[in-house]
Amino acid sequence: MYTWSTEQVDPRDRFDYWREVRAKGLFGVTAELEPEQRRDFFGEFSLRQLGDAGLVELRASPYRVERRAGDIADARSDSLCIYQQLGGGGWFGGARLDEFAVRDGMFATSYSDLPYRTVPLHDDGFHLRIIKIPVTNIVPPGAELGELVPRPMQDETALRPLLESCFRDLVEGHDATAADTAPMVQALAHIALIERGIMRPKSRLAQQALRSAHLSLARRLIRRHLANAALTPTLIAGLLGISVRHLHILFEETEMSFSETVTALRLAQSRRLLREQSGQTIAEVAFACGFESLATFYRLFNASESMTPGDYRARPA
């Protein structure tokens, strides 16, 4: 991961450097700020490769951003952009798009090589993540992204939690290789294209993306409800809005079934608690991890570790 901050530049030159080298040179945009405010400017970003795609997280004090025709000509990207607003809010506008605002947690999508303007809504400035995905190999034959102006994804759409889960998988996968991230990058892109009407939901690639996204969200929901002894396929399928049969089919394509996944996650959580929470009894650890009984916990733990939970806890660090 590459990180950079204006702290590395003399305060008198920070905004000028950000504008010419970072904004224009790296992001392909024009940055503007009143001269009297430039000395107090702050900006930082990180950049991580996700195979051919890139993940940028950016924080900066308020300034105006515009991607103009000249910026596009000088720095074409030919990418699908998926934005996540992380703090405060942002306003978007431009000649070809309806004005809109995004609040904390919202997502927006666009094609990179279209003009737009944006400013933060509040004094805390910009804080956002962007995943840029080259359109090569992700756009269905005959489809064009030339009209994909920036637009927010509405919270009520059924695709929103699927897109968010794929996005979070990529953000959280710090140690993932390019080969590991490629399927999820493609799934994320295709979910965005389905939501924008570029890709038909019933197409083969769309169905593959929906399966990947449902599986990602299913695993996330399992982790969220892990401490619940009543965690069942019916519960997770209901939260996903799919049938129990469909849920089991999703896990058939992986190395572990639904029940094996739940057990593995509960055992991993129990090992962590046994190591880190010395004040908890074995029974408290078992029930905190969602095991239905102490006997079940002992049986599964011994089968996994070839020792009892007490012996595991007593081992030297």
Domains of the chain by residue range: 1-153, 262-314
Q: What is the pLDDT of residue 25?
A: 87
* Distance (Å, whole) CA 125 – CA 229: 43
Q: What is the pLDDT of residue 293?
A: 96
Main-chain dihedrals φ then ψ at residue 226, nearest 5 degrees? -60, -35
- To which H or E segment does residue 93 belong? strand 89-94
Q: What is the pLDDT of residue 137?
A: 81
**1-153 under CATH 2.60.120.10, yes or no:** yes
Low-confidence ranges of the chain (pLDDT < 50): none
Coil, strand or helix at 216: helix
Q: What is the pLDDT of residue 85?
A: 96
* Distance (Å, whole) CA 164 – CA 156: 13
Fold of 262-314: Arc Repressor Mutant, subunit A (1.10.10)
Q: What is the pLDDT of residue 55?
A: 97
Main-chain dihedrals φ then ψ at residue 227, nearest 5 degrees? -75, -10
Q: What is the pLDDT of residue 96?
A: 79
Q: What is the pLDDT of residue 98?
A: 85
